[in-house]
């Protein structure tokens, strides 16, 4: 039986380790992909740390997958062999629950998440439901486009939830999603204020290079009030900081899947029609819209590349904020 290299998670808190697994066979509606690149996301860290509590185990992480179709399962007609596709976090839905029927498939009652409910892209091959794969813009290399598949498109959904009337945008937590969304927001003519961990002057310099108008510590107030704030760090107190920085009617959107507790705060911070909301997952429409928009901006992700075997190191460096931009496993490196 032909095998592939994969980085396997046996249980929460145990390090990923390199194994040989059988190359899976595509079932009905699936495609088998040869993975060329896979982004590393904070959600992977939440799974590793047991903060997302119900992963399939053992598990291959990774939900920003760029690969080429090597085989189609029975009835899979959408993509040709050799075609390049992207696989995001939303791997499948039931298509029948109240949310799916209302066009809110991101909230599906029975979703399948890539690299959580099914094996993902920290491996040489993976399976995907072809209905949830994206065609990818040709302007990007495999490594460049990988971070657009989660940091980019969930970042974009978060940005969209801030609404139309935004001239001043705050971004809290300046990593993969933030640097992509800063480029999108500047392209749309907004003023962008970037907030980092206190004292992280490297991330602040990075934010300014991405086009932010100002960068400072998350404990600071921006030089002018914000119409909206996006939070990409899993740190509950940032919700209160962001509320303090917003105009009347301002919107605070949390883009992460997990966050530490939000401390209590006086009602006066929420008063005057300020709004706090979260963003969960993505719809295929988000992906199509963002992947069409990205080359027009053009979004250019700042990528730190790791080999497949270095997936564990990539996650630890992400945890400790040891690089700027987005981490990507390049399957062509050994």
Q: Does 43 bind Zn ion (CB under 5 A)?
A: yes
Which CB sits closer to Zn ion, 72 or 93? 93
12, 70, 97, 280: which one binds Zn ion (CB under 5 A): 97
Which residues 259-298 are close enough to bind Zn ion by CB under 5 A? none
Which CB sits closer to Zn ion, 43 or 196? 43
Residues 6+ apart with CB under 8 A from 55: 9, 12, 47, 116, 117
Q: Does 100 bind Zn ion (CB under 5 A)?
A: yes
The residue count for the chain: 334
Which CB sits closer to Zn ion, 97 or 221? 97
- Dihedral over Cα of 34, 36, 41, 46: its sign: positive
Smallest separation, CB 125 to Zn ion (Å): 20
In terms of phi and psi (left: phi > 0; alpha: psi -120 to 50; beta: otherwise), the region of 158 is alpha
- Dihedral over Cα of 47, 178, 284, 139: its sign: negative
Smallest separation, CB 257 to Zn ion (Å): 8
H-state helical runs in the chain: 42-48, 98-101, 142-145, 151-161, 176-187, 201-209, 237-245, 284-293, 311-319
Q: What x-and-dash track marks residues 108-147 binding Zn ion by CB under 5 A?
A: x---------------------------------------
Q: What is 96-117 written as a DSSP string?
A: -SHHHHTT-GGG-SS-EEBTTT
Q: Does 90 bind Zn ion (CB under 5 A)?
A: no
Counting residues that bind Zn ion (by CB under 5 A) gives 8
Q: Does 41 bind Zn ion (CB under 5 A)?
A: yes
Binding site for Zn ion (CB under 5 A): 41, 43, 93-94, 97, 100, 108, 150
């Amino acid at each position: 039986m032909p095998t592939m290299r994969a980085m396997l998670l046996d249980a929460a808190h145990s390090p990923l380790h390199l194994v040989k697994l059988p190359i899976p066979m595509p079932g009905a509606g699936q495609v088998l992909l040869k993975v060329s690149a896979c982004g590393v996301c904070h959600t992977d860290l939440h799974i590793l740390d047991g903060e997302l509590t119900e992963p399939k185990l053992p598990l291959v992480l990774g939900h920003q997958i760029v690969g080429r179709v090597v085989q189609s399962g029975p009835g899979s007609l959408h993509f040709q062999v050799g075609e390049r596709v992207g696989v995001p976090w939303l791997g499948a839905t039931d298509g029948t629950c109240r949310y799916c029927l209302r066009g809110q498939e991101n909230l599906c009652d029975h979703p399948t998440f890539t690299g959580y409910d099914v094996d993902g892209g920290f491996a040489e091959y993976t399976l995907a439901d072809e209905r949830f794969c994206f065609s990818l813009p040709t302007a990007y290399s495999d490594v460049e486009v990988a971070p657009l598949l989660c940091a980019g498109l969930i970042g974009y959904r978060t940005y969209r939830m801030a609404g139309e009337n935004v001239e001043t945008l705050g971004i809290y937590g300046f990593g993969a999603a933030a640097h992509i969304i800063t480029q999108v927001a500047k392209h749309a003519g907004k003023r962008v204020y970037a907030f980092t961990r206190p004292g992280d002057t490297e991330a602040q310099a990075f934010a300014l290079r991405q086009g932010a108008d100002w960068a400072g510590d998350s404990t600071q107030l921006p030089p002018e009030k914000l119409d909206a704030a996006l939070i990409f760090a899993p740190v509950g107190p940032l919700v209160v900081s962001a509320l303090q920085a917003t105009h009347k009617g301002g919107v605070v959107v949390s883009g992460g899947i997990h966050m530490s507790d939000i401390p209590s705060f006086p009602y006066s911070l929420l008063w005057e029609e300020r709004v706090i909301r979260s963003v969960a997952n993505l719809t295929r429409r988000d992906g199509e819209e963002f992947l069409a928009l990205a080359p027009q901006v053009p979004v250019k992700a700042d990528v730190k590349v790791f080999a497949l075997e270095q997936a564990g190191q990539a996650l630890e460096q992400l945890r400790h904020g040891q690089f700027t931009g987005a981490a990507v496993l390049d399957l062509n490196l050994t």
